Structure 1
Amino acid sequence: MLARREPVLAGFVRTTVLNHDRFEDALAFLLAKKIGGAFLPSLQMHDLVKEAIANDPAIASAARADLVAMRARNPACRSHLEAFLFYKGFLALEIHRAAHWFWNRKRYALALLLQSRMSRLFQVDIHPAARIGRGVMIDHASGVVIGATAVVGDDVSILHAVTLGGTGKEAGDRHPKVGDGVLLSVGATVLGNVAVGERSRIGAGSVVLSAVPPDTSAVGVPAHLLLRTDRSIPAQTMDHVD
Structure 2
Amino acid sequence: MNKEEIWQQIKKEIEHVNEPIMHRLIQRYVHPAGSLARAVLLILSHKLADDLVNERELEQLFTQQLEKAPEVGTYFAADLEQYYTRDFACHTYLEALCFFRGLQALAAYRMAHQFYQEDKTMTAKWLQNRIFEKFAIDIHPAAIIDKGLVIDHGIGVVIGETCQIGENVFIFHNVTLGGTGKTQGDRHPKVGAEVVIGAGATLLGNIQIGQGANIAAGAVVLKEVPAYTTVAGIPAKVKGKANSVQ
Does the Cα contact within 8 Å between 1:165 and 1:190 map onto a contact in 2?
Answer: yes
Q: Which moved more, 1:24-33 or 1:185-194?
A: 24-33
Does the Cα contact within 8 Å between 2:212 and 2:242 map onto a contact in 1?
Answer: no
User: Which of 183, 193, 201 in structure 2 is aligned with 1:180?
Assistant: 193
Identity percentage over the alignment? 37
Q: TM-score, normalised on structure 1?
A: 0.93
Rounded Cα–Cα distance in structure 2 between residues aligned with 1:33 and 1:9: 16
Does the Cα contact within 8 Å between 1:3 and 1:9 map onto a contact in 2?
Answer: no
The residue number in structure 1 matching 2:234 is 221
The residue number in structure 1 matching 2:10 is none
SS in 1 for 2:181: coil
Q: TM-score, normalised on structure 2?
A: 0.91
The residue number in structure 2 matching 1:171 is 184
Q: Deviations over 1:18-46 (max 9, x none)?
A: 11211121111111111011111111111
User: Which of 81, 87, 102 in structure 2 is aligned with 1:89?
Assistant: 102
1:28 aligned to 2:44?
no
Rounded Cα–Cα distance in structure 2 between residues aligned with 1:138 and 1:46: 24
SS in 2 for 1:5: coil
User: Which of 5, 26, 32 in structure 2 is aligned with 1:19?
Assistant: 32
Rounded Cα–Cα distance in structure 1 between residues aligned with 2:34 and 2:71: 19
1:39 aligned to 2:52?
yes
The residue number in structure 2 matching 1:118 is 131
The residue number in structure 1 matching 2:169 is 156
Rounded Cα–Cα distance in structure 2 between residues aligned with 1:224 and 1:4: 48
Does the Cα contact within 8 Å between 1:164 and 1:191 map onto a contact in 2?
Answer: yes
**1:102-113 maps to which residues of 2 (within 5 A)?**
102-113=115-126
User: Which of 52, 66, 80 in structure 1 is aligned with 2:65?
Assistant: 52
Rounded Cα–Cα distance in structure 1 between residues aligned with 2:67 and 2:177: 30
Cα offset for 1:147?
0.2
Letter in 1 for 2:193: D
RMSD: 1.4
Rounded Cα–Cα distance in structure 1 between residues aligned with 2:96 and 2:21: 19
Cα offset for 1:2?
7.0
Letter in 2 for 1:125: D
The residue number in structure 1 matching 2:21 is 8
Cα offset for 1:227?
3.4
Aligned residues: 233
Rounded Cα–Cα distance in structure 1 between residues aligned with 2:210 and 2:22: 44
